[in-house]
């Protein structure tokens, strides 16, 4: 194990972390099964299953778009636990993935025989308004956090509906004269023409599983009721992410380090899950940021999609038991 060299001004801290009093507003959106499978193959299935021993596939053709308010972000590991706290707003697009393990490791001719290894959340897009969270997320636990600005600031208390716009730095169109500049990449507004009456949330289910009432599961993922029945009562969830660093060699397209990082999140003290008003979510496309295309979200001609289901809940959360499922070091 290589010792980490602490430097003055370094804003990062190691796991575990605590997030008391969080507010989550989460929107369920349709997505493309083929696009989500490609993301899993590109960003999680770095090696063939015969070499890694596991592989990930999307659970269903949908994604979460969630806006989270963190009043406090606390490190739990001494001496960082005694130094103070930060706060942030976060936006992510993510989806549940299924882990498949080799039934017969070491026998590549039998690699098609696999066992269910559990469920995790995978976040291909994350945006935060806290630089320290961005650095820690990327460098420590592998979350691909980008800096964003949100206006108005998402309220920290329960509401029936709300609006928000988010900006981040993009390049578009790609050409030598293009300058990196801040552009709007997301707008959320109460829907002007709701598609269907809202399906009641599951008030006793913790976030993010409160989305999956029987009516929602039947609408978006027929045949998966049994799997969701295992997830809905849970007060915890795990995540898997690709952590990587570019190699510094001039002109190199190589990575000097890659890992699949596994995190566990425990949710406690939740308020009952409540339904928000159905929302229209606009996702502009830029050459350097193509959220709708990459996730297969079926936006209309204006780049807008209407949420299938939308909930909010307040709770405490902790990030614990972080580990590397796979680590690759460049030469």
Among 112-121, 125-134, 197-206, 243-252, name the one with the lowest average pLDDT: 197-206
- Residue for token pair 């370094």: 10
**pTM metric for this prediction:** 0.92
Q: Is 70 exceeded by the pLDDT of residue 242?
A: yes
Residue-range domains of the chain with CATH: 17-329 (2.40.400.10)
Q: Tell me, what's the pLDDT at 223?
A: 64
Which helix (H) or strand (E) covers residue 265, if one does? strand 255-268
Strand ranges, E, within 52-138: 54-58, 62-75, 85-102, 114-128
Confidence at residue 176, expressed as pLDDT on a 0 to 100 scale:
95
Q: Is the pLDDT reported for residue 29 higher than 70?
A: yes
Q: pLDDT band at residue 40, thresholds of 50, 70 and 90?
A: very high
| Nearest one of 139, 126, 201, 135 to 168, comparing CA atoms | 126
At residue 220 the predicted structure's pLDDT band, cuts being 50, 70 and 90, is low
pLDDT tens per residue, range 163-219: 999 999 999 999 999 999 999 999 999 998 766 665 666 667 777 777 776 666 666
**Average pLDDT along the chain:** 89
Q: Which residue has the higher pLDDT, 158 or 57?
A: 57
Cβ(115)–Cβ(103) under 8 Å?
yes
- What pLDDT score was predicted for residue 219? 64
Is the pLDDT confidence value at 23 over 80? yes
In angstroms, what CA-CA distances link 77 with 48, 212, 243? 35, 34, 21
pLDDT of 12 > 60? The answer is yes
Report the distance separating Cα 326 and Cα 306, nearest Å: 37
For residue 224, the SS3 value is coil
What local confidence, expressed as pLDDT, does residue 255 receive? Answer: 92
Q: What average pLDDT does the segment 47-55 reach?
A: 92
Percent of the chain at pLDDT > 90 equals 66
**Lowest-confidence range among 53-62, 160-169, 224-233, 295-304?**
224-233
Residue 256 has pLDDT above 80, yes or no: yes
> Does the structure show a pLDDT above 90 at 232?
no
43-59 average pLDDT score: 93
Q: Where are the alpha helices (DSSP H) in the chain?
A: 33-43, 49-52, 131-136, 214-220, 225-231, 291-295
Q: Which two tokens stand for residue 177?
A: 């004269």
CA distance 27 to 164: 13
């Amino acid at each position: 194990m290589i010792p980490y060299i602490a430097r003055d001004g370094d804003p990062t801290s190691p796991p575990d972390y605590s997030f008391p009093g969080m507010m989550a507003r989460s929107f369920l959106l349709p997505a493309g099964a083929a696009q989500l499978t490609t993301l899993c193959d590109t960003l999680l299935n770095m090696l063939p299953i015969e070499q890694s021993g596991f592989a990930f596939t999307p659970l269903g053709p949908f994604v979460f778009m969630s806006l989270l308010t963190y009043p406090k972000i606390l490190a739990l590991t001494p001496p960082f636990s005694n130094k103070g706290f930060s706060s942030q707003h976060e936006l992510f697009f993510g989806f549940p993935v299924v882990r498949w393990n080799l039934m017969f490791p070491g026998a590549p001719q039998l690699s098609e025989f696999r066992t269910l290894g559990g469920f995790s959340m995978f976040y291909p897009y994350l945006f935060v308004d806290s630089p320290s969270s961005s650095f820690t997320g990327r460098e420590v636990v592998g979350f691909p956090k980008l800096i964003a600005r949100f206006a108005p600031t998402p309220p920290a208390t329960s509401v029936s509906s709300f609006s928000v716009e988010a900006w981040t730095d993009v390049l578009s169109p790609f050409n030598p004269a293009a300058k990196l500049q801040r552009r709007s990449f997301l707008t959320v507004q109460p829907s002007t023409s709701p598609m269907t009456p809202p399906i009641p949330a599951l008030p006793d289910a913790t976030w993010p599983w409160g989305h999956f009432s029987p009516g929602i599961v039947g609408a978006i993922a027929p045949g998966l009721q049994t799997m969701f029945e295992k997830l809905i009562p849970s007060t915890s969830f795990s995540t898997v992410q690709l952590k990587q660093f570019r190699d510094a060699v001039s002109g190199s397209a190589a990575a000097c380090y890659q890992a699949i990082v596994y995190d566990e999140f425990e949710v406690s003290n939740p308020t009952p899950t409540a339904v928000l008003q159905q929302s229209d979510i606009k996702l502009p496309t830029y050459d350097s940021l193509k959220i709708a295309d990459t996730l297969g979200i079926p936006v209309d001609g204006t780049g807008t999609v209407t949420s299938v289901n939308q909930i909010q809940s307040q709770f405490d959360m902790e990030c614990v038991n972080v580990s590397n499922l796979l680590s690759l070091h460049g030469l």
